Amino acid sequence: MHPIVGTWDLSLRTPIGTLAAVYVFGDTGGVLTGTAGTTAETVPLAGIACDGPRVTWRQSVTRPMRLNLDFDVVVDGETLAGHSRAGRLPRTTVTGNRRADPAGSTGSASRW
């Protein structure tokens, strides 16, 4: 199983403030899938790739502004850390904690 599979609470420290998001990663027949959610919107993740503990993906958001984001994080057990980048904008620091999920379900992302 990929180290990213599960539900994660992420914090993204952006130039406009810290944003909280819920990320849900799953494995469907060996293909990684995912969504990111806030109170404003839920968006699909694209191009999710796992190379050992390093995970990368892309996503588009429309709130608080329209951006295409590239993520690069390293999973260390129940935490992750890394960054995201939107074009030429400064890198955003990303940190996260995996939610405890005793049932083994990945749930759904329904909020930022």
Number of domains in the chain: 1
Cα–Cα distance, 79 to 89 (Å, whole number): 25
The letter for the amino acid at 27 is: D
In a domain, 25, yes or no: yes
Cα–Cα distance, 74 to 4 (Å, whole number): 9
In a domain, 12, yes or no: yes
Residue 106: predicted pLDDT: 44
In a domain, 112, yes or no: no
Phi, psi of 104 (to 5 degrees): 80, 10
Distances from the Cα of 83 to the Cα of 33, 94, 95, 106, angstroms: 19, 5, 8, 23
In a domain, 109, yes or no: no
In a domain, 102, yes or no: no
Domain CATH for 49: 2.40.128.120
Q: pLDDT per position in the chain (112 positions), as tens?
A: 789 999 999 999 988 889 999 999 999 999 999 999 998 899 999 999 999 999 999 999 998 789 999 999 999 999 999 999 998 889 999 999 999 965 544 444 433 3
In a domain, 106, yes or no: no
Q: Which domain holds residue 17?
A: 6-96
43 close to 35: Cβ distance less than 8 angstroms = yes
In a domain, 84, yes or no: yes
In a domain, 32, yes or no: yes
